[in-house]
Amino acid sequence: MIADKPILVTGGTGKQGGAVLKHLLEQGAPARALTRDPASPKAVALASQGVEVVQGNLDDPESITRALEGVRAVFAVQDPWSHGVPAEIRQGKMLGDLAKAAGVQRFVQASVAAANVSTNLPHFESKGTIERHLQSLGLDVTAVRPVLFMESLLERFEPKAVYILELLRRGLRGKSVQLISVDDIGRVAAEALLENRTDRPGLRGIELAGDELNFNQIVETYARVVSRRPKVAYLPMIVIFLLGRKPYSSYRWMGARGWHYDLASLRAERPWLSTFEMWLRANTGN
């Protein structure tokens, strides 16, 4: 039976892949995780939860082909930061090609909101390139398009990352930014992988946002929930460019153009979407 076939999740030891696996397991779906190192603590933990962990990487077509054997669906996520945007595009296209050749029925791609508009942000536009390639293959593709991760904000509140918090403050310039939790992304992706419908070749996009706050509101919410104000290092622009030009460029785009999805409509469809405060309380023990 199709339901007995596993779902392949790339990036299973990462944030998005891990969230997808969590929700697949909650639904009792058989899952297979692709990882470079099956002996890593995160991979071992996945195996202990019933995930089939297989060795491979997105630059090795032979290992991907083996991982695709007998699967019914794929969740794909690539990392533009570790190996660069060209590698991200190459990996995304190759995985799609190999999934098509393996007869995979459903393909869910981790993308980004605004993937198919001109942003001058290579790590955004690369995802649009991957989406269009997957569409050209005639696969049944769902592109999950999230806004800024709430998890990335929590990392910025750590004392060692105070300069990154300043990048966000300077980039937004008083404007608000839309936010989404990775756990919510994982839930939506798992639903897309498991939904019972007639396969339809083509591409559909699911835009995801759960909250919208400006920098001061983000800081005040954090201080209220955690009972500690985060430190912000006020840096001159030359230092900002030297330390983090890429993230600053992203935040600058978010402040200047950004995302403007109708949160009420999104929540009407998915009432469980987390606000930033809800997410903080669930993930900081407060």
Phi, psi of 114, deg, nearest 5? 75, 25
Q: Is residue 170 a contact partner of residue 108, using CB atoms and an 8 Å limit?
A: no
Model confidence at 110: pLDDT above 50: yes
User: What's the pLDDT score for residue 164?
Assistant: 75
- The average pLDDT across 85-109 equals 97
State the average pLDDT for the chain: 92
Q: What share of the chain is helix, strand, coil (3-state, %, to 5)?
A: 50, 15, 30
**Is beta strand 211-214 parallel, antiparallel or unpaired with respect to 176-180?**
antiparallel
Q: 127, 94 in Cβ contact below 8 A?
A: no
Select, from the ranges 65-74, 194-203, 230-239, the one with the highest average predicted confidence (pLDDT): 65-74
Query: Is the model's pLDDT at 236 over the cut of 90?
Result: no
Token look-up 């089939």 returns 52
Give the integer Cα–Cα distance in Å for 48 and 160: 33
Over residues 201-216, the pLDDT tens digits come to: 789 999 999 999 999 9
Q: How confident is the model at residue 253 (pLDDT cuts 50, 70, 90)?
A: very high
Contact 130, 109 (CB under 8 A): yes
What integer is the mean pLDDT of 143-147? 98
pLDDT at 111: 98
| Mean pLDDT across 69-96 | 95
- How sure is the predictor about 138, in pLDDT bands with cuts at 50, 70 and 90? very high
Cβ atoms of 125 and 118 closer than 8 Å: yes
**161 — pLDDT class (breaks 50, 70, 90):** low
* Model pLDDT, residue 242: 74
For the cut 90, the answer to whether the pLDDT of residue 3 exceeds it is no
Looking at the predicted structure, is the pLDDT value of residue 286 above 80?
no
Q: What domains sit in the chain, N to C, each tagged with a CATH number?
A: 2-148+182-208 (3.40.50.720), 154-177+211-284 (no CATH)
What integer pLDDT is reported at residue 1 of this predicted model? 47
Q: Which residue has the higher pLDDT, 198 or 64?
A: 64
The lowest-confidence range among 2-6, 46-50, 138-142 is 2-6
pLDDT at 252 over 50: yes
pLDDT at 202: 83
Q: Decide if pLDDT at 105 tops 90.
A: no
Share of the chain above pLDDT 70, in %: 95
Please name the residue that has the structure tokens 């290092």. Answer: 233
What local confidence, expressed as pLDDT, does residue 199 receive? 58
User: ∠ at Cα 151 (116, 26), nearest 5°?
Assistant: 90
Q: How confident is the model at residue 2 (pLDDT cuts 50, 70, 90)?
A: low
pLDDT in tens, 183-204: 999 999 999 999 876 656 789 9
Which has the closest alpha carbon to 106: 223, 239, 197? 197
